[in-house]
Amino acid sequence: MNAATISALRRKFIIISMFSFFLVISFTGGMIALASQWTLRMQAGYALELILENNGTLPEPTSDTERVGVTDGFEGLTSEFVYGARYFSVAFDKSGKPTNIEVGHMRSVGEKRAVEYAKEAVEAYDKQLATKLLNLGMADTYFYKVKSFEDGSKLVAFLDCSFQMQVNRGVMWNTVFICVVGLAGCFLLVLLLSSNAVRPEIENARKQKQFITNASHELKTPLAVIRANTEVIEMLQGESEWTQSTRSQVDRMDGLVQNLVMIARAEEREDRAQMGDIDVTRVVSDSVEPFRALAQQEHKELVCEMEEEVHMVADASAIQQLCTLLVDNAFKYCDPEGKVVVEISSPRKGRVTLIVSNSFADGKDMHYERFFERFYRDDEAHSDEGGYGIGLSVAESICDRYRGSIKASWKAGMVVFTCQLRSA
């Protein structure tokens, strides 16, 4: 993991944290707004029910401390609410003619306007879904209820809640403001803390790469000495199974060292990658060209099926390394006198599909999902090919860098590696 990867993880952490905090604070603010609205509706509903039960007026409290309309489920209305309530009511007989109009507690609504409100309320009361569910209607800033009697007459009561609605709107806007300020403060805090949190990881990644590079160089010297001493022993005493085993293990160690260097160099390239618009077709073609001689030498068929002028924004050296790793792997594990196929296409602008496949008749039951684990070896039949599970791991990291993916599968006697890449 290099500095760029750690920085990408930091960005993901910030995005996820902020999104989570946004959901929580939005839910909290929404519940506060809903609770305020629900409380207002409940209070208005109880007040209107008292008005209807008292034939269009609120009952007068006998003292300043008495609560009106106390029930088991409701603590009642305070005397201050009763004295300050703004309401009006209209009674209709069974023919729809107004028989009693109470507007003494409203200055802004006269009898004529009260009758108009009442008629509109009666017509709309049974048609609105919210009214049916809550048994409470709303017109302008008035909540209302309609009570029907057995003789066909009706009583409509209205309660003005404009002040309470204004208070609720103030609470809502204050809640939105507090939420926005909270989000901004959380973003600054997460940004600061995440920077401090990833700084040690970046330093550890730098030290790890330095250690791999230094260890690789340090291991080369003793391996060279062991190889030289083995060759001297063979010159003096002749080749034996012991010297062959020693040379074989030296070659194996040398391969491991080279793969460690490959990991370090791949991450170094990632750190200093130079992005630009590249012709992927030309880069892949140039990468495949050196393998044509190998194909002739090993009597294998190399087929290239490339779409013309495939472009993407990327680092040309990374795409070249990806192609070289996959083609080299394909030749290593291709059946004798088999076929290696390299395909390039662009399903849409800025996206590239690279497919490298090779003949492998015995590959049906292999664990392809584990091919990209470092140092994983599943093909014992090809254990002499010198693979160490590093190349495919590096190929996967390159695909991840370009927001893509790489998958391995087996179909009709061919092992197929499919890479999906997107412009950086």
Domains of the chain: which residue ranges?
3-167, 273-422
Structure token digits, residue 64: 């300043």
* Least trusted range by pLDDT, from 113-127, 203-217, 328-342: 203-217
Instruction: Write the Ramachandran bin of 245: left for phi over 0, alpha for psi from -120 to 50, otherwise beta.
Output: alpha
Q: In this predicted model, which residue has the larger pLDDT, 6 or 115? A: 115
Dihedral, 59, 64, 69, 72 alpha carbons, nearest 10: -170
Question: Could you tell me what percent of the chain has a pLDDT over 90?
Answer: 25
Confidence band for 264, pLDDT divided at 50, 70 and 90: low
Q: Is the pLDDT of residue 290 over 60?
A: yes
Determine the pLDDT at residue 380: 46
Determine the pLDDT at residue 62: 72
Confidence band for 73, pLDDT divided at 50, 70 and 90: low
Structure token digits, residue 81: 């609410």
Structure token digits, residue 413: 């006697």
Q: Is the pLDDT of residue 389 over 70?
A: no
What does 271-339 look like in DSSP terms, one character per residue? HT---EEEEHHHHHHHHHTTHHHHHHHTT-EEEEEE-TT-EEEE-HHHHHHHHHHHHHHHHHTSPTT-E
Q: Is the pLDDT of residue 373 over 90?
A: no
Q: Is the pLDDT of residue 87 over 80?
A: yes
Q: How far apart are CA 330 and CA 70, in angstroms?
A: 85
* Least trusted range by pLDDT, from 200-209, 240-249, 286-295, 328-337: 200-209
Determine the pLDDT at residue 376: 60
Q: How far apart are CA 190 and CA 53, in angstroms?
A: 57
Q: What is the pLDDT of residues 269-282, one digit of tens each?
A: 555 556 788 999 99
pTM > 0.85: yes or no: no
Q: How far apart are CA 353 and CA 74, in angstroms?
A: 68
Q: In this predicted model, which residue has the larger pLDDT, 166 or 367? A: 166
Determine the pLDDT at residue 289: 92
Q: How far apart are CA 63 and CA 66, in angstroms?
A: 5
Confidence band for 383, pLDDT divided at 50, 70 and 90: very low
Q: Is the pLDDT of residue 173 over 70?
A: yes
Q: pLDDT averaged over the chain? A: 83
Nearest partner of 313 among 346, 278, 349, 271, judged by Cα: 278
Q: Is the pLDDT of residue 162 over 70?
A: yes
With 0-12 / 13-18 / 19 or more C-beta atoms within 10 angstroms meaning exposed / middle / buried, residue 414 is buried
Structure token digits, residue 353: 């599909």
* Least trusted range by pLDDT, from 20-24, 253-257, 276-280, 295-299: 253-257
Question: Residue 59: what are its φ and ψ, rounded to 5°?
Answer: -65, 140
Q: Is the pLDDT of residue 3 over 70?
A: no
Determine the pLDDT at residue 381: 41
What is the enclosing helix (H) or strand (E) of 407?
strand 405-411
Q: What is the pLDDT of residues 88-134, one digit of tens each?
A: 999 999 888 999 999 988 888 899 999 999 998 888 876 665 555 56
CB atoms within 10 A of CB 314: 25
Determine the pLDDT at residue 5: 67
Strand partners, 340: 302, 358
Q: Which CATH number applies to 273-422? A: 3.30.565.10
Mean local confidence (pLDDT), 124-149: 76
Give long-range contacts, CB 8 A cutoff, 24+ apart: 95-99: 96/122, 99/153
Q: In this predicted model, which residue has the larger pLDDT, 264 or 350? A: 350
Q: What is the pLDDT of residues 33-72, one digit of tens each?
A: 888 888 888 888 888 888 888 888 888 877 766 677 666 5
Place of tokens 């140092």: 375
Determine the pLDDT at residue 268: 59
* Least trusted range by pLDDT, from 14-28, 39-53, 210-224: 210-224
Cβ neighbours of residue 92 closer than 8 Å, sequence gap 6 or more: 98, 99, 118, 122, 153, 154, 155, 156
3-class DSSP assignment, residue 107: coil
* Least trusted range by pLDDT, from 250-254, 255-259, 361-365: 255-259
Give the DSSP letter of residue 368: G
Which amino acid type is present at position 234? E
Structure token digits, residue 3: 């500095």
Structure token digits, residue 252: 């194996």
Determine the pLDDT at residue 72: 58
| Cβ–Cβ < 8 Å for 3, 206 | yes
